[in-house]
Structure 1
């Protein structure tokens, strides 16, 4: 299976004050522009590619996660820094009597999403060729966003889906991962810009989603980010996830 779970569908009732940013930022991979041929589509990069093909069975992929907000009264909750880990194994569909033979690119993936009281149920995923971290990040983000905006999550999901499919800029980049620099792609979209419900987005209509991918990284996802600032520069939301090359 590729990661198509998030690309599915769609109405909204959405109040907010901004205060300056706080909490220490998690380190992010350095990204610089690069030259390349015609870029692939964002949907292909994020939802169609067999991203797990370069993740060795028996390995663990770790992502550092940060969410913080400067909105008064903290509707997004206290700042959260945690990790998400993917334990990668060979697919066992055939051994369990499933139809057909699993793709050579497929993996079974056990997920530990956050720790302790922050733990979020996730997976396990069987016979996956796409990286489930893409859908997990967006779905977790949408739950919090819909709650803060008192919005229908399907409306928000459809807007982001359209943004990724129709309004995303994809550019080639050089990505610093650990002590090496690798080729990658950067996807950027602002799906709520010009939205008919802008006045009910409570200042979050400038939400910018940035995803960096590279086939040189296990699972191909280098980083994901959702960020929004008020007109005076206050941080309304900073939510990001970065691949940790040093974690096993």
Structure 2
């Protein structure tokens, strides 16, 4: 049993899709959900009840992709896979018990269970996996990278209104964009990954609230050093 704990990890572009899928719109609305002021990014992503609207007995499914254009393929070949969360009732109306299956085939990771959680663990699982691979390629300390992301989410994130399409209707949400290493004191050692930009899109009307995550680093000539995405698939459960 694992519990989703903020202290364990603080810390996308949703692809266009047909009706009854979720997609980002290029022009965000002028106000957030119910006209709210932009929230703090860390609070929005890690301290919000995200699972209260996830139907018990259902499954939340997410499409995962990874691509890198670096010569020698240190991140391995391109990947497309799935993360699925089986949702069961929690002991409280606003919490759920989850069984998380991450990837398939030889990439399959051990199934994780979460009990009595309000937050969606897919966010933490994505970031943990991303940081593990990134630290190996950069031969760096994953804690240093994690702390940089945590600090930037608390202090330097841009939170703006977003609009997503769910089941054919436009729904308000938030887009969080952060560049943790743009001003890092050791950015000259990051081999281009100082450009890493994380984009999170969330929407209260979407079950589990996580619409998409995009982690992207590009070289000065526009080459893709890394693009790693997670996108909610409402009809794939």
Q: Which residue of 1 aligns with 2:174?
A: 185
CA distance in 2, matches of 1:195, 1:124: 36
RMSD across aligned positions (CA): 1.7
4+ long deviations beyond 4 Å: none
Q: Which residue of 2 aligns with 1:7?
A: 10
2:29 matches 1:34: yes
Task: Report the CA distance between 1:120 and its aligned residue.
Answer: 1.8
Contact 1:3–1:131 (8 Å) recurs in 2: no
CA distance in 2, matches of 1:76, 1:3: 28
SS in 2 for 1:158: helix
- Which of 138, 143, 149 matches 1:154? 143
CA distance in 1, matches of 2:191, 2:166: 36
Structure 1 residues 39 and 3: CA distance shift in structure 2, 3 A:
farther
CA distance in 2, matches of 1:219, 1:225: 17
Q: Which residue of 2 aligns with 1:15?
A: none
1:27-66 matched pairs, under 5 angstroms: 27=15, 29-31=23-25, 32-36=27-31, 37-66=36-65
CA distance in 1, matches of 2:109, 2:207: 23
SS in 2 for 1:219: coil
CA distance in 2, matches of 1:138, 1:221: 13
Deviations, residues 178-233 of structure 1 (Å, cap 9, x unaligned) = 52221110000000011011111010101000000001000000000100110000
Task: Report the CA distance between 1:3 and its aligned residue.
Answer: 4.9
Q: Which residue of 2 aligns with 1:89?
A: 88
Task: Report the CA distance between 1:34 and its aligned residue.
Answer: 1.2
Task: Report the CA distance between 1:174 and its aligned residue.
Answer: 1.0
Report the TM-score when normalising by structure 1.
0.85
Contact 1:3–1:46 (8 Å) recurs in 2: no
Deviations, residues 146-194 of structure 1 (Å, cap 9, x unaligned) = 0000001000000011111111000011112352221110000000011
2:139 matches 1:145: no
Q: Which residue of 2 aligns with 1:73?
A: 72
Report the TM-score when normalising by structure 2.
0.89
Q: Give unmatched runs, 5+ long, in structure 1.
A: 9-24, 92-101
* Number of matched pairs: 222
Q: Give unmatched runs, 5+ long, in structure 2.
A: 17-22
Structure 1 residues 86 and 2: CA distance shift in structure 2, 3 A:
same
2:218 matches 1:215: no
Q: Which residue of 2 aligns with 1:234?
A: 223
